[in-house]
């Protein structure tokens, strides 16, 4: 049924004896369990390259996190290292960039920032994106929600819908 369609298959199994058969049916990759995050990322880059016609190196570059994030304070613009950013928070039309020491304005909405940021940045609800490297404490709340305490002291509630993504990102 799928002949002639843009379909990419990645086999994931605990058995290495099926690898040759997988590639005979044109699998993009073959992952052995337990799957490491880096290995999955490389396989997904291959899929992107296959489906878009972009070479793997270009596909990897297109998913890279920006080297710097531009934050504004008044008329001044600051180039921030992504690692120092604790969170992005929306307040109406404004988006704030929060670090341990300061708060800046962002020029882009959260949805655009989310597309540009790397995998360490995760949306926790509709108004906040956090840097998972800055999580210091996870406290369970009722209804499968969590309270995260960040390195800056910021406390953020994770929605039920997005709690799984945080668990995955923190290997918790």
Which superfamily is assigned to 69-170 in CATH? LytTr DNA-binding domain (2.40.50.1020)
Residue ranges covered by each domain of the chain:
10-62, 69-170
Q: Are 147 and 82 in contact (CB under 8 A)?
A: no
CA distance 131 to 123: 9
Q: What pLDDT digit, counting tens, does each position of 1-35 carry?
A: 545 456 788 889 888 787 778 777 788 888 888 88
Q: What pLDDT digit, counting tens, does each position of 135-162 carry?
A: 999 898 877 788 999 999 999 999 888 8
CA distance 82 to 66: 8
Between 65 and 43, residue with greater pLDDT: 43
Q: How far is CA 53 from the centre of its chain?
A: 23
Predicted pLDDT at 119: 84
How many CB atoms sit inside 10 A of residue 145's CB?
17
Confidence category of residue 61, pLDDT binned at 50, 70, 90: very low
How many CB atoms sit inside 10 A of residue 125's CB?
15
Predicted pLDDT at 52: 63
Q: Which residues contact 50 (CB under 8 A, 6 or more apart)?
A: 8, 28
């Amino acid at each position: 049924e799928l002949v002639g369609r843009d379909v990419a298959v990645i086999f994931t199994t605990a058995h290495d004896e099926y690898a040759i058969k997988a590639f005979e049916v044109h699998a993009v990759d073959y992952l052995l369990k337990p799957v490491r995050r880096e290995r999955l990322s490389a396989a997904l880059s291959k899929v992107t390259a296959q489906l878009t016609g972009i070479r793997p190196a270009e596909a990897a570059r297109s998913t890279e996190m920006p080297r710097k994030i531009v934050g504004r304070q008044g008329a001044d613009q600051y180039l921030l290292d992504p690692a120092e950013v604790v969170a992005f928070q929306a307040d109406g039309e404004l988006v704030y960039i929060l670090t341990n020491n300061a708060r800046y304005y962002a020029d882009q909405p959260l949805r655009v920032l989310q597309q540009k940021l790397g995998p360490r940045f995760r949306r926790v609800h509709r108004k906040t994106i956090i840097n998972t490297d800055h999580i210091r404490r996870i406290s369970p709340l009722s209804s499968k929600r969590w309270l995260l305490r960040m390195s800056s002291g910021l406390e953020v509630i994770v929605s039920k819908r997005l709690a799984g993504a945080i668990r995955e990102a923190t290997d918790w």
